Structure 1
Amino acid sequence: MEDAYERTLLMKNECFVYALPPRTSNRGYRAADWGLDKPLWTGRLKISTFNGKLSIKLLDSEGNLFAEAPVPEYPGVAVESVTDSSRYFILRIINTEGKVAFIGAGFGDRGDAFDFNVTLQDHFKRVKTDEKIEQAPVNQPNLDLGLKAGQTFRINIGNSAGKSKPKTKTNPTGGLLLPPPPAAATSQTTSNDKSDWGEFSSASNDQWVQF
């Protein structure tokens, strides 16, 4: 959605304007040919947007408009650099009647010129990014993950085999009750007097077998 109000992107309190001499070649303008010590006008420069359109406005100390340069793209014919300096450039201004003229403009401080260039570059980068987002396809399939009528699903929690672990009995006093040990094999002893030892035990002392 475009802004329905003016948004200021940059304001510089000192900007110089120069009348351009006739261009002597196709190599571009040189700021050194403008008579930099004698500007045609001095005032403020403002970069702003309104309804998505960017413009450069030259204002006097009271805020009155001296000239305006609409900028549909950057770099482009609306704002051009000179060949011999980074502080000066060419502006294409358009009045309310639609008449076009070209003027020279520049800053005494290199930092102001840097801010001017960066502001224009950042704005049109955002414009290109927004255009790509708007043009991106939006026909992504909508996944319907809801259950249809009559559909069910099952969730297995814990032991899926349904087997339960054997329970360990506890002693009422708090200790564990261990299962009883297996029955011990008992040896059967007989008191048969006919066993070998029984015969020896029943014999009297005078009946020992002589070898």
Structure 2
Amino acid sequence: MSDDSDYESVLLVIRECYVYKVPPLQSSSRGYRAADWGNVDEPLWRGRLRIIAQGKKCFIRLEDGQTGELFAVCPYEENKGCVESVTDSSRYFVVRIEDQGRHAFIGLGFLDRSHAFDFNVALQDHFKHLAAEERSAEQKKAGVQQPKLDFSLKEGQTLNLTIAGGGTGASTRRNRPPRPTASDDGVLPALLPPPPPPGKRK
């Protein structure tokens, strides 16, 4: 049976992107600037970008747009400096690529700002999804471990019920009002006469 970590999911495809040579960073406080890369209209390479999720891992793949041949890959980890935005444009980034244990930094650019936005969002959404899965798993685990309350009677225990207005026992019949009884002389008490009809009242 194949492991879920072997399954690849394509998070984003951008059909055209550009790669540039990045000079060494002069000052970390200054940050990277696309203006330092020379003429951005003459990239070092151009091709297709795909973001792939494989289990919890995420990869940025730069491939030939026609043949799919791999040019470079960036194993992306959140908050590890794998991708950094430049300080002078929203369309350019510095990406850390790896090949057989060696790494290098390249410039990555997009023709459209919307592509740069989608690139950022796809990376963020991957790790938001992982965080949501972890929270869900923790909540399920906490629910399973919660002890169940046992309300069953133990051996030798009895249950007494007290009914309001009466003593203990199984009878729940309400007390009825007393029926009229004969007087001491054996005659029922006289009932009040009905009211006189209208017009004959005095």
TM-score normalised according to structure 2 size: 0.69
Alignment-derived partner of residue 199 in structure 2: none
Contact 1:59 1:65 in 2 (8 A): yes
- Tell me the percent identity: 46
Matches within 5 A, 1:5-24: 5-24=7-26
Partner of 1:196: none
Kindly indicate whether residue 111 of structure 2 is the aligned counterpart of residue 108 of structure 1: yes
**What is the deviation of 1:128?**
3.6
- Report the secondary structure of 1:3's partner residue: helix
- Structure 1, 136-145 or 115-124: larger mean CA deviation: 136-145
Residue 91 of structure 1 and its aligned partner are, at CA, apart by 0.6
Per-residue CA distance 1:86-121 (angstroms, 9 max, x = gap): 1110111111x2111111001111111111111112
Alignment of 1:1-211 (within 5 A): 3-26=5-28, 27-34=30-37, 35-61=39-65, 62-74=67-79, 76-95=80-99, 97-131=100-134, 138=142, 140-147=145-152, 148-149=154-155, 153=159, 162-164=172-174, 166=176, 182-184=188-190
Q: Which has the higher contact order (CA 8 A, sep 6+)?
A: 2
User: What are structure 2's unaligned runs of at least 5 residues?
Assistant: 192-202
Q: Could you say what the CA RMSD is over the residues aligned between the two structures, in angstroms?
A: 3.5
Q: In structure 2, what is the Cα distance between the partners aligned to 1:72 and 1:104? A: 18
1:78–1:153 Cα change, 3 Å? same
Cα distance in 2 for partners of 1:24, 1:101 equals 16
Q: Structure 1: which 5+ residue stretches go unaligned?
A: 168-178, 186-211
Summarize deviations over 1:152-185 as a string: whole Å, max 9, x none. Answer: 657789x977334659xxxxxxxxxxx9994449
TM-score (norm 1): 0.66
